[in-house]
Chains A and B, each alone.
Chain A
Amino acid sequence: MIFLAIFLVLFVVTEYRGRDEINAAVNSFFRVDPLVLLSYLLAAKTFTWLLLPAVLMVLATLLLGRFFCGWICPLGTILDLVTPAIRKSSPIKMLKGNTKYWLLFPLLSASLFNLNLSGLLDPIAILLRGLTFLLYPLLGLTAREGWVELYRLIGEHRDTLAPAYNLVRGNLLPFRDTLYPLAFFSAMVLVAVIALERYEARNWCRNLCPLGTLIGWLGRFSPFNRVPVGVCGDCGQCRELCPTTFDQGVLNKEECILCMECQLGCPHGRISFRPSRKLKLDGPMLPERRVLLGGMVSGLLLAVPARFRSPEKGASLLRPPGVRGEDDFLKKCVRCGECMKVCLKNALYPSAWQAGVEGIYTPLVIPRLGYCEYNCTLCGQVCPTGAIPNIPVSAKKREVIGKAVFDKNHCLPFAKRIDCIVCEEHCPIPDKAIRSREVQVIGFDGAMRNVKEPYVVEEICNGCGICEYVCPVETKAGIEVFAVKNRSPVSESAVHTDRFGESGQSGYSIR
C-alpha cells in the first residue's frame, strides 16, 4: 500500500511544477527493476550507474526472496486491492507450467539480439502507460471540461471557486490535456491484467509476469524459508490465506511473494520465515532444455523481422533531445512513457507503427502537436535508463533533434507572396536559425512589394520544432522538421551559453 501510494505520488510529481529540476520521479521504480536491468545489460552490453538500485534489488532478492512482488510492485498492490471483489472461477490450465518462461526467455534472448522489448510486458511499465496515456488525461480532461462548463453556466462567478480549482490543478491534475495514440490499447492491457483475476488471485503475477518470473527464480537462492513448508494436516488455513501458491499443498518458493498473510492469519501461530536449510521440494533449477532453447530461438526469430522499417518513415523519426543514435536508443528505452508524461509542451508521443515493430511505444517528437521547449531538460531527467541522456540546459540547447526545412508550396511569403515570418520570431536560437531577407516581388494582385522571405541556417538549427508548431498555415505547416543522421550538437557560440544562457532564474532582486 505504501509503495502504491508512493508510486502515485511520484507519478503526479513527474511534471513541471515551477522548477527546472525534478528531484523525485516515478523513474525510481524502473531503476530498481531487475528486468529492466537485465534486458539493458543484454541489449546495450554496457552498465549504467542509473540502474545501480536494480543491482541492489537483485542482491536483496537473493537474500530475502521474492518480496518485491508482495511489497513493492504497485500493480501487485492494485491486484490485491481489487481481487476480493472479483468472483473466481477455476484457474486457466493453459497458463500453468512453463508459460511464464515462454514469455521471459524470448524477451531476454531478443534483448541479446538488440531488440529490447521487455518494457512491453514489465508490470510497472504496463501500469504507467495505462495511467499516462489514458487514465490521467481522462481525469484532466474531465476536470477541465467541467471547469469550462461551469464558466459557460455561471461566467465570472466561477472565480470564487478558482482558488480551490487551482490548488487541485496545480498539484494533482495534468497541466495540459493530451490525447495519445495507443491510449485505448494501453489501458486495455492494464484492464486485461486485472481481468485475469477472474480465474485466480494474482493470476498475472504467478503465470505471466516476466519480472515476477525473474525475481521468483532469483528468490530461490534465498536462505529464508517459510516454516513449515507444507500445509499442516490439522488446519489447512494457508490454502485460503495465500494469494499466490499453496494450491498443491506445498509452498512453491518461486511463487511465494512473502506477503506474510499466512503468518498473520495462522490460528496456531506456527508459521515463521527464517533462514533454514535448503528445501528438498524445490523443482529443477531451470525449466527443461527445450523451453530454454525454444525461448532463445524465438527471441532470435522475434528480433530479426521486428527490425523491419520502411525507409520513408525515417524522415519523421524525431527522437527526444540528446538522443544521438537510433539503434542505441532502441536498446535502452524501456517504453515506460515517462518522458511523454513530463514533456512540457507535449511534443512526445508513443510510436504506434512509425518506428516499426521494434519501436512500439518509443517516444517521438511530433512538432505539429508540440515542440521541444528550449530551456527544458525534463525528459532526460526522468528517463530511467538514460536512453534520453540527462544533460545540463546549456548542452541540451545544442542537441539536434532534426533540421527544419521550408516547403515553399505552403510557406506564405513564397506561396502567396505576403509577409509572415512567425517562425523566425519564435526560433529560440539567439542568433536565429531561421532568418529572412527582404526581397522585392510582384504580388499576385500585380503590385510590387517588399516581402521577407525566410530561410534556415542549418548549422545552428537544433530541430526543436517550434517553427513547425507555430506556423499559421493550417493543417500542413510551411516548415517541417526532418530527421538527420548526423546529430552532432550545434556550435556553442550559437546558443550563447554565457552567464545568462543557462536557463537560471532572474538575477535581479525584488526589493
Chain B
Amino acid sequence: MDRRNFIKAVGAAALMAPVLIREALAAVDQPHVVVAEGTDYPAITRKAINSVGGMKRFVKAGDIVVVKPNMGWDRSAELAANTHPLVVRTVVEECLAAGARKVKVFDNTCNDARRCYVNSGIENALKGMKNVECKHIETERFKKVSLNGQFLKEWELYDEVLSANVYINVPVAKHHGLSKLTLGLKNVMGIMGGNRGFIHRNLDVALADVNAHVKTHLTVIDATRILTAHGPQGGNIADVKILNKVIASTDIVAADAFATTLFGMKPADIPVTVAAHRRGLGEMNLDRIKLVRV
C-alpha cells in the first residue's frame, strides 16, 4: 500500500465512521413510533402515550410541562386546522396524572388569539382543570436566544418553553402550501416570536435550527382527522379526511416521517423532515423505525 492509497483508505474510513456508528446505534436503540387507532379519541391518545412508555417516563412529580398544540387558526375542530381538543385534553390529563405541577397550553396564533382559543375548542376543553394554564401569548415573554444555526443565528423564543421541564409537541397532521405538510417539526413555529414570516425563505433549515435548540420530549400527532389540501388553515370540510389515528413517539423526526405516509407521501418528499434528519434530530428512514400499532 503506497502512501496515496493509505490516505485514501483513512479518508474513506473517516467519512464512513459516523454513518457506521449511527447504524450500529440505530440497531440497538431503534426509535419507536406508536400508532393508535379508534374512534374514542381520549382512549387512543392514552393508549399511544402508554405504549411509548407512559407519561411517567417524561413527566416527573413537580415538573412544569408545556403542551403545545396547533391552535393558530380561527377554525372549528372539524376543519382539521387545529389539534383536536380531546387529544389536547387527554395529553394534559396524563401530565397531571404523572404528577406535573403545572401544565401550560398555548400557541402564537395566526388569527386573533381570542377567536382561535375559543373556536378551536381547546380553551373550552381545558376550562376548570386545576393546575392548567391556557393563556394567550404575552410578547414580553419572548427572549432572544442564540441558536447558532445554519440559517438562524438567533431568534426570539417563548420563555415558558425555555424554562419548562418537559416540552410535549401535539400537532395536527395537515397540508401546508410551502412545506407540503406541517407536523411536529413545523409546530415549533408556535413558540417563535418576531417576524415569523421571515423564516419562510429558508424554512426547512430554520426549523431544524429551532428544533435543535428546543428538544421535544414527546411528540403526539393528532391524525384523528387530517387536512389534505389548502393547508395550513383549510376551511372546506371536503379537504378533511377522517383517519381516527393518534401517533406518538419520542423521536420527533420519526413521528413526522410516519405521519407523512398517511398523506401518501414519502418522508424524503418533505424538506423539513430531511433537514432535521440530516441535522441528527431523529430518524426518517421508515425501515429503521419500529412501528407499533395498538
Residues of A within 8 A of B (CB): 16-18, 148, 151-152, 156, 162, 166, 175, 344-345, 373-376, 412, 416, 418-422, 424-426, 428-432, 436, 452, 470-472, 474, 495-496, 498-501, 503-508, 510
Contact = CB atoms under 8 A, between A and B. Distances in A.
A472 B141 contact: no
Interface in B257-275: none
Nearest to A346: B112
Given A428-B233, A429-B235, A430-B235, A470 B85 contact: no
Contacts of B230: 430-432
A156 B163 contact: yes
Main secondary structure of the interface of A (DSSP, over half): loop
A420 B236 contact: no
A434 B275 CA distance: 27
A151 B112 CA distance: 23
Contacts, number: 124
A472 B235 contact: no
Interface stretch (B26-34, B53-61, B118-126, B280-288): B118-126
A314 B230 CA distance: 33
Interface stretch (B5-13, B75-83, B165-173, B248-256): B75-83
Contacts of B203: 419
Interface size class of chain B, counting residues whose CB lies under 8 Å from the partner chain:
35 or more
A345 B116 CA distance: 13
A472 B197 contact: yes
Contacts of B69: none
Nearest to A17: B114
A18 B195 contact: no
Nearest to B239: A430
Contact of A421 (B84, B120, B200): B200
A470 B189 CA distance: 15
Given A18-B118, A373-B115, A429-B235, A471 B76 contact: no
Nearest to B82: A506
B178 interface: yes
B197 A500 contact: no
B162 to A, nearest CB: 11
Contacts of B138: 148, 151
Nearest to A422: B197
Interface string B170-201: 00000011100000000000000001111011
Contact of A507 (B78, B86, B120): B78
B78 A425 contact: no
Contact of B119 (A375, A429, A470): A375
Given A412-B201, A419-B178, A507-B76, A425 B119 contact: no
Nearest to B231: A425
Contacts of A424: 177-178
Given A420-B201, A425-B178, A431 B236 contact: yes
A245 B58 CA distance: 78
Contacts of B135: 162, 166
A456 to B, nearest CB: 14
A416 B230 CA distance: 25
Nearest to B89: A510
Contacts of B78: 500, 506-508
Given A422-B197, A508-B121, A496 B237 contact: yes
Nearest to A148: B140
A505 B197 contact: no
